[in-house]
Amino acid sequence: MFGCQAPDTGNAEIIAHYGTEEQKERYLRPLLEGEIFSSYSMTEPHAGADPTRFTCRAVKDGDEWVINGRKYFSSNAKTASFLIVMAVTDTEVSRYEGMSMFLVPTDTPGIEIERNVGLYGEPMNEGFHALIRYDDVRVPAASLLGGEGRAFAVAQTRLGGGRIHHAMRTIGLAQKALDMMCERALSRETQGGRLADKQFVQGYIADSYAQLVQFRLFVLYTAWRSTSTTTTRRSARTSPRPRSSCRPCCTTSPGGPCRSTARSAPRTRCRSSR
């Protein structure tokens, strides 16, 4: 399946919910067709993910908004065609009412990627999570997504569903890890027999399968709750975190956690989501 990776899923969702027809045609259609990538630029270096401490500002100047500030962990920014930027637009009210979202093409003058941050074990500046500086970045008034002061409503729509999206993707990773564990157990011989004949390994596989089935049903239930209530926030809190993808690394020892095997990626991704 394609077009279901983060952050594109959440970005597509909020453009579909809050975007104008012009915004949908320019950004949503090519995003859904896989022609472009996008990035969500919200977190700030000094504030983490606490929006009440954000300082990135957007000031109205005629028919344009001028954005200044820094954003951290803007995933996929180096390959994205546009960013969705959360910025303070009114300092006279609370942060919950004084922040707005903007659709900003990545080729807009004033956007600078200072560095790309990687996950565990990835070399510096080879990751996909950018530290971005916005220096007098000018965008037209039509770039507002969802209206002025609506950033929190837009963000919750995105982040609530995003937790379910991550859980859905993790099901696929966990299933792949379980399949590899079974293949390894059948092909590896040690101590006079196959791993598959060892009681402890059989318990690993049985527990992993049972937990994966529970995890899949839990995600389906959470997704159903999110569509049957007025908000995704309540049900998104129940999104599960998988553990069954860790056992394949134990079963494939030696070499299980090293980068030369296909088993390291699912474990790293699942550990990050946990």
The model's pLDDT over 155-173, given as tens digits with 9 standing for 90+, comes to 988 887 778 888 888 999 9
- Tokens 């990751």 sit on residue: 127
Percent of the chain at pLDDT exceeding 90? 62
195 half-sphere exposure, CB direction, 13 A CA radius:
18
For residue 165, the model assigns a pLDDT of: 83
Q: Which residues neighbour 211 within 8 Å (Cβ) at sequence distance 6 or greater?
A: 242, 243, 244
pLDDT digits (tens, 9 = 90+) for 90-103: 999 998 899 999 99
Secondary structure letter of residue 122 according to DSSP:
P
CA 153 to chain centre: 18
Class of domain 8-146: mainly beta
- Of 103, 104, 96, 237, nearest to 161 by C-alpha is 237
pLDDT digits (tens, 9 = 90+) for 166-205: 888 899 999 999 999 999 999 999 888 999 999 999 999 9
Query: Is pLDDT of 206 > 70?
Result: yes
Other beta carbons within 10 angstroms of residue 84's beta carbon come to 27
Q: Classify residue 17 as exposed, middle or buried by CB count within 10 Å of its CB (0-12, 13-18, 19+).
A: middle
H helix intervals, the chain: 8-18, 21-23, 29-32, 151-187, 199-228, 233-236, 247-251, 264-273
Secondary structure letter of residue 238 according to DSSP:
T
The torsion angles phi and psi of 225, rounded to 5 degrees, stand at: -60, -40
Query: Is pLDDT of 236 > 50?
Result: no
- Tokens 């001028």 sit on residue: 66
Q: Classify residue 242 as exposed, middle or buried by CB count within 10 Å of its CB (0-12, 13-18, 19+).
A: buried
250 half-sphere exposure, CB direction, 13 A CA radius:
12
Question: Would you state the structure tokens that stand for residue 35, as one six-digit string?
Answer: 């022609």
Domain spans in the chain, listed from the N-terminal domain onward: 8-146, 154-273
Query: Is pLDDT of 87 > 80?
Result: yes
Whether residue 254 is preceded by a cis peptide bond, meaning omega within 30 degrees of 0, is yes
Query: Is pLDDT of 62 > 70?
Result: yes
| Domain spanning 154-273, CATH architecture | Up-down Bundle (1.20)
Whether residue 105 is preceded by a cis peptide bond, meaning omega within 30 degrees of 0, is no
- Of 210, 204, 206, nearest to 246 by C-alpha is 204
- Of 142, 136, 62, nearest to 102 by C-alpha is 142
CA dist., res. 148 & res. 93, Å (int): 12
CA 55 to chain centre: 23
CA dist., res. 65 & res. 137, Å (int): 8
Confidence label for 266 from pLDDT (cuts 50, 70 and 90): low
